[in-house]
């Protein structure tokens, strides 16, 4: 069935999909949205039934092994071709054409798939809702509707449904056909002030199409309207260098010259926009982020989403006497009384709100680290234990000061700036220097997945909730293992391997459950000898002159194979319980045979390798240079750049050695070239690429990676929102660059 947008509302979501239902709601409120109609989900169902496609699709899908990428892609291609090439039943085709004719005479329309409630998860997992802009002519419209239908069977969508036990027969798809607005003006509006929640509407506006604003390519005019006193309170007119417009179905750029200095919106237009914004805000019960456009003097609301904004004080500053300097490792300002802890036995003296000062934190300090207001260490860099844990706990930290335990004394009041890396004398007042708004809902959808790194299982649930990350790109189990009563090999020697497996299983389960069904890549133990020596039973750890180049990572697990088997057994228990979102990631790989051996042992322990993600970290130049051999011979499904190690091994700069810290540079061309090479090879073989090193939390580095075509970025919990914003912006800019090329 086909229905006009004004005939539907939110109760129809199962047949007209989320997009269709939303637009229908807005029209009912008297808000002008571009006219259009919806080809509902039943139409697609009827199409596949009447043409006999239903059975054929079912048959193809019943034989496909979704873990075999080639098979999956082949099945997807076949089905999509069938859908696109099979003529619609005449009456459906005529009906679509009739609605199009009634909508407009040969005008340009936008055609978009609208996922129905049942298929929302796989549609958002597939990361794509098909959209065709600038479609004109009856036959073209019919053709694009079919293309939207066929997007129900992208490889990712099929994969998702199989993984989660959804029946392909149950899902369907609706298609929204809407008149294109070729706007002379457009922009966005927050119906209330996004930071303070005050009833001040904020409008940004440009000439031409709105893509120019969204991509950040043009500085828009900025207006503010006081909704209580009913008046415009701010008008900032920007110099708008160019505008985008549509000509013959193509987006073109027009330089504005002097005209770019003109004000975009008149007072009346601002008032009208605010009125619509207020209607929408009232209806939904919370402030809205609205996209609007004006064509031939008429206002259209193109999109509206709720903004639940939190006030995130992005940068606070203090001024005063700096007594200790180090690296800012976890942002924020913390004030408190100093407690110097020289060994973990003294940790008991730390009270709520203190500033913990120590040489380097250890896992048994984690309970105390949770309650302090800031952490300061003598040693360490941005990837040390204190840095990782404090970021995960959201506590300001300064590391690598060299002398904090000598200069700071118990009971001194200090103020710690975890961004700048300074410790000030006394209790100082913070001054706000910049405020940033993070919108919690709805989530920005990015094609590049943004995941999170986890090392403390107890915070996984909170991190999952607060970041809404697309999964865990690195679950470091070292911190959990270091927190156990004794050294892993001691458990094994004492005949208590089951106790150890149980501990691993319990910790892993917390993370895997918190993120289910999103993927969690569990990294097998990477235990440098120096870090594990202080554990009970750690006395047998070999003394190495350079532990970073020593007995750690997968090479160690393949020597201490009983340990590796224990890890596999813990993971197997999770898989047996249905947690198929686990993936296994091997650290510090440098040889093909390491991956082969690890894989063989995993299989011997009953891990269904073909059914879960199985991949490696790229942390050595060796692995980056032989990646093609590894892929061909070992059949991995993903790689993840461990730039912390990759940088140290490429540049010969020990990541823990402060004497050479000035040479440590993840953006060194040699490191970037290795990364680029690996991404290119992986794309050729359909192997997913990701990053989980510290560089993934750096917005600039993230930009480089998105441009290189990485599939996901795994950041520290505190960086996920920012990285997601950066990724979204870069992706949009890349689209715009493509448009400009045309
Ligand atoms: C890395 O090397 O970049 C990494 C993520 O692993 P780790 O920091 O635990 O060595
Ligand atoms: Mg590493």
pLDDT digits (tens, 9 = 90+) for 17-61: 888 888 898 898 899 999 999 999 999 999 999 999 999 999 998
Q: Tell me the best of 455, 640, 644 to mutate to test the pocket of ligand 1, counting ligand atoms within 8 Å of each CB and taking the most.
A: 644
Task: Give yes or no: 385 in active site.
Answer: yes
CA 444 to ligand 2 center in whole angstroms: 30
Q: Tell me the best of 523, 549, 619, 696 to mutate to test the pocket of ligand 1, counting ligand atoms within 8 Å of each CB and taking the most.
A: 619
Closest ligand 1 atom to 644 CA: 3
**More confident site: 339 or 133:** 339
CA distances from 477 to 78, 316, 523, 553 (A): 42, 33, 7, 12
Tokens of 665: 């540079």
Matching fold, domains 2-179 and 449-741 = no
pLDDT digits (tens, 9 = 90+) for 50-69: 999 999 999 998 888 887 77
> For ligand 1, is residue 642 a contact (CB within 6 Å)?
yes
One of 3.20.20.10, 1.10.10.60, 3.40.50.970, 3.30.1490.20 is the CATH number of 2-179, namely: 3.30.1490.20
Give the model's confidence band at 439: pLDDT under 50 very low, under 70 low, under 90 confident, else very high.
very low
Q: Average pLDDT for residues 252-256, to the nearest whole number?
A: 90
> For ligand 1, is residue 666 a contact (CB within 6 Å)?
no
The pTM is what? 0.58
CA 640 to ligand 1 center in whole angstroms: 10
Closest ligand 1 atom to 694 CA: 3
Ligand nearest to the CA of 387: 1
Check pLDDT > 70 for residue 538.
yes
Distance of alpha carbon 230 from alpha carbon 34, whole angstroms = 28
Give the model's confidence band at 431: pLDDT under 50 very low, under 70 low, under 90 confident, else very high.
confident
Q: What is the CATH number assigned to the segment(s) 313-436?
A: 3.50.30.10
Protein residue with its CA nearest to atom 9 in ligand 1: 476
Q: Per mean pLDDT, which of 247-256, 297-306, 696-705 is the most reliable?
A: 696-705
Check pLDDT > 80 for residue 315.
no
SS3 231: strand
Query: Tokens 């070999």 — which residue?
Result: 542
CA-based nearest residue to 481, from 528, 515, 540? 528
Check pLDDT > 80 for residue 363.
no
Least confidently predicted of 154-163, 170-179, 538-547: 154-163
Give the model's confidence band at 318: pLDDT under 50 very low, under 70 low, under 90 confident, else very high.
confident
Strand partners, 325: 422
Q: Tell me the best of 617, 646, 697 to mutate to test the pocket of ligand 1, counting ligand atoms within 8 Å of each CB and taking the most.
A: 617
Tokens of 178: 């809407």
**More confident site: 308 or 688:** 688
CA-based nearest residue to 5, from 142, 114, 88? 114
pLDDT of amino acid 313:
46
Ligand nearest to the CA of 695: 1
Domain ranges of the chain: 2-179, 185-306, 313-436, 449-741
> For ligand 1, is residue 643 a contact (CB within 6 Å)?
yes
Q: Average pLDDT for residues 356-361, to the nearest whole number?
A: 92
User: Is 47 within 8 Å of 56 (Cβ atoms)?
Assistant: no
pLDDT of amino acid 310:
45
Query: Which residue of the set 385, 479, 487, 563 is catalytic?
Result: 385
> For ligand 1, is residue 476 a contact (CB within 6 Å)?
yes
Give the model's confidence band at 105: pLDDT under 50 very low, under 70 low, under 90 confident, else very high.
confident
Domain 449-741 listed as CATH 3.20.20.60: yes
CA-based nearest residue to 191, from 127, 280, 262, 106? 280
pLDDT of amino acid 440:
45
Give the model's confidence band at 735: pLDDT under 50 very low, under 70 low, under 90 confident, else very high.
confident
Q: Per mean pLDDT, which of 316-320, 419-423, 433-437 is the most reliable?
A: 419-423
Question: pLDDT over 90 for what percent of the chain?
Answer: 61
**Mean predicted lDDT score pLDDT of the chain:** 89
- End-to-end CA, the chain: 37
CA-based nearest residue to 38, from 70, 7, 59, 65? 7
Q: Average pLDDT for residues 387-412, to the nearest whole number?
A: 91
Q: Average pLDDT for residues 730-735, to the nearest whole number?
A: 82
Query: Tokens 């003394």 — which residue?
Result: 543
Query: Tokens 């031409």 — which residue?
Result: 208
pLDDT of amino acid 282:
86
Give the model's confidence band at 668: pLDDT under 50 very low, under 70 low, under 90 confident, else very high.
very high
CA 476 to ligand 2 center in whole angstroms: 9
Task: Give yes or no: 193 in active site.
Answer: no
Q: What is the CATH number assigned to the segment(s) 185-306?
A: 3.30.470.20
CA 645 to ligand 2 center in whole angstroms: 5
pLDDT of amino acid 308:
54
Give the model's confidence band at 725: pLDDT under 50 very low, under 70 low, under 90 confident, else very high.
confident
């Amino acid at each position: 069935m086909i229905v006009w947008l004004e005939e539907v509302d939110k109760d129809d979501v199962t047949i007209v999909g989320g997009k269709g239902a939303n637009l229908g709601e807005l029209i009912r409120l008297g808000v002008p949205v571009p006219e259009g109609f919806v080809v509902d989900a039943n139409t697609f169902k009827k199409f596949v039934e009447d043409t006999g496609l239903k059975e054929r699709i079912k048959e193809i899908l019943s034989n496909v092994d979704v873990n075999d990428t080639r098979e999956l892609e082949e099945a997807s291609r076949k089905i999509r071709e069938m859908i696109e090439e099979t003529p619609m039943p005449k009456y459906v085709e005529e009906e679509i054409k009739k609605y199009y004719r009634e909508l407009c005479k040969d005008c340009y329309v936008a055609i978009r798939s609208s996922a129905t409630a049942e298929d929302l998860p796989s549609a958002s997992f597939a990361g794509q809702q098909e959209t065709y802009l600038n479609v004109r002519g009856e036959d073209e419209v019919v053709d694009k509707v079919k293309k939207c239908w066929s997007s129900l069977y992208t490889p990712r969508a099929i994969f998702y449904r199989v993984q989660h036990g959804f029946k392909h027969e149950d899902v369907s798809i609706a298609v929204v056909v809407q008149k294109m607005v070729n706007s002379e003006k457009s922009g966005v509006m927050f119906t209330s002030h996004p930071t303070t929640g005050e009833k001040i509407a904020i409008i940004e506006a440009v000439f031409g199409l709105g893509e120019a604003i969204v991509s950040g390519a043009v500085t828009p005019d900025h207006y503010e309207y006081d909704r209580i006193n009913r008046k415009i309170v701010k008008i900032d007119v920007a110099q708008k260098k160019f505008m985008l417009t549509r000509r013959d179905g193509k987006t073109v750029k027009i330089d504005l010259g002097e005209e770019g200095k003109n004000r975009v919106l008149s007072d009346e237009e601002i008032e009208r926009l605010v009125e619509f914004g207020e209607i929408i805000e009232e209806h939904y019960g919370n402030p809205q982020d609205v996209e609007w456009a004006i064509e031939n003097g008429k206002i259209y609301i193109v999109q509206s989403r709720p903004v639940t904004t939190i006030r995130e004080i992005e940068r606070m500053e203090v001024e005063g006497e700096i007594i200790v300097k180090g690296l800012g490792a976890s942002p924020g300002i913390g004030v408190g009384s100093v407690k110097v802890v020289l060994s973990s036995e003294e940790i008991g003296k730390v009270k709520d709100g203190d500033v913990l000062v120590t040489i380097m934190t250890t896992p048994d300090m984690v309970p105390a680290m949770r309650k302090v207001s800031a952490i300061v260490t003598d040693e360490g860099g941005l990837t040390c234990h204190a840095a990782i844990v404090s970021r995960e706990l959201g506590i300001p930290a300064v590391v690598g000061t060299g002398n904090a335990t000598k200069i700071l004394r118990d009971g001194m009041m200090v103020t710690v700036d975890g961004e700048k890396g300074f410790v000030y004398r006394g209790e100082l007042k913070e001054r706000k220097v910049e405020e940033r708004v993070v919108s919690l809902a709805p989530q920005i959808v990015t094609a590049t997945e943004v995941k999170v790194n986890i090392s403390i299982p107890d915070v996984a649930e909170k991190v999952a909730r607060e970041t809404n990350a697309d999964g865990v790109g690195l679950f470091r189990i070292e911190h959990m293992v270091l927190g156990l009563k004794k050294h892993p090999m001691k458990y094994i020697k004492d005949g208590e391997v089951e106790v150890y497996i149980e501990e691993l299983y319990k910790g892993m389960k917390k993370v895997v459950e918190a993120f289910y069904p999103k993927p969690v890549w569990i990294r097998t133990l990477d235990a440098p000898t120096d870090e594990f020596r202080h554990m009970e039973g750690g006395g047998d750890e070999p003394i190495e002159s350079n532990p970073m180049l020593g007995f750690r990572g997968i090479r160690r697990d393949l020597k201490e194979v009983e340990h590796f088997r224990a890890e596999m057994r813990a993971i197997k228990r999770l898989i047996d319980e249905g947690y198929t979102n686990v993936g296994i990631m091997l650290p510090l790989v440098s040889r093909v045979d390491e991956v082969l051996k690890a894989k063989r042992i995993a299989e011997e322990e009953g891990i269904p390798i073909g059914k879960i993600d199985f991949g490696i970290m790229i942390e050595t130049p060796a692995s980056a240079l032989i990646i093609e051999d590894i892929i061909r011979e070992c059949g991995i499904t993903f790689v993840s750049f461990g730039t912390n190690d990759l940088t140290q091994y490429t540049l010969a700069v020990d990541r823990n050695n402060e004497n050479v810290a000035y040479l440590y540079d993840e953006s060194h061309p040699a490191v970037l070239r290795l990364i680029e090479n690996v991404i290119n090879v992986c794309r050729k073989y359909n192997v997913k690429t990701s990053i989980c090193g510290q560089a993934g939390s750096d917005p600039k580095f993230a930009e480089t990676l998105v441009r290189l075509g990485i599939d996901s970025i795994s950041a520290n919990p505190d960086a996920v929102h920012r990285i997601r914003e950066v990724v979204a912006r870069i992706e949009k800019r890349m689209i715009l660059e493509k448009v400009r090329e045309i």
